[in-house]
Amino acid sequence: MAAGSQRRARETDLVKATRALFDERGMQDAPVEEIARAVGIARGLIYRQFSSKEELYVLTVTDYLAELAAVLDAAIDRDAAPEVQLERCTEAYAIFCRTYPAFLDCSMSLMRRPARDLRAMVSESVWLRLGQGMASCLEQVAEVLRGFGVAEPEYVANLLWTQTLGVMHLARIGVGVREAAPAVPALFALTPERIVDSCVQSAMATVRASAT
């Protein structure tokens, strides 16, 4: 096998192993040693393949994004009314976040730092692939928003993207907090179905407020 093909094959194996660990544990927790062991290579080879652990994690996010793009494409009926398209698109995205908790963790982790800091941690190629993966998903949302006459569909698509990520963390927690009596906190149950429905309703309200 040519060196380039071998390198690409190893990258694919490493990303698959990393995602498998993420999905198994439901969070961004995949020590390099375990990833190397899963693929059957020495730990040092990972750092010959990638400039940093963060670069491997970013590529794992792009793997999630590729799957999400296909999910959104399948969910959106281009012949339906814009309201129906937005409902199905948002619901599909929220359910994806519920299905893959590690995707939530990874996405929020990437957003905890300024873009310039993340950009400095990964190669030009990896940065480009992350951008392509996000743009592929966000463009499908923006396409739906254009049907509403939204003035800045790309901005609103990014807003809905982040909004849904935040709300879906409630589905992971499964409870809300309220004051049962003065200075007495209490928990109350939240079902994932209710949270997904809230994501849809919130998206609808945001888009209606943004429509011209």
Res. 16: pLDDT tops 60: yes
pLDDT tens-digit map of 91-131: 999 999 999 998 998 888 888 888 999 898 899 999 999 99
pLDDT tens-digit map of 156-198: 999 999 999 999 999 989 999 999 999 999 999 999 999 999 9
Alpha-helix runs per DSSP H in the chain: 3-25, 32-39, 43-49, 53-75, 82-99, 101-111, 115-121, 124-146, 153-173, 192-210
Q: What SS3 state is found at 51?
A: coil
Query: Three-state SS across 40-78?
Result: CCCHHHHHHHCCCHHHHHHHHHHHHHHHHHHHHHHHCCC
CA distances to 45, 78, 105 from 35, in Å: 11, 40, 18
Q: What are phi and psi of 36, to 5 degrees?
A: -60, -40
Question: Which pLDDT score is estimated for 4?
Answer: 66
Domains of the chain: 1-49 (1.10.10), 52-210 (1.10.357.10)
pLDDT tens-digit map of 49-97: 887 788 888 999 999 999 999 999 999 999 999 999 999 999 999 999 9
**170-30-25 Cα angle (round to 5):** 40
Neighbours of 116 (CB within 10 A): 7
Q: Are 104 and 199 in contact (CB under 8 A)?
A: no
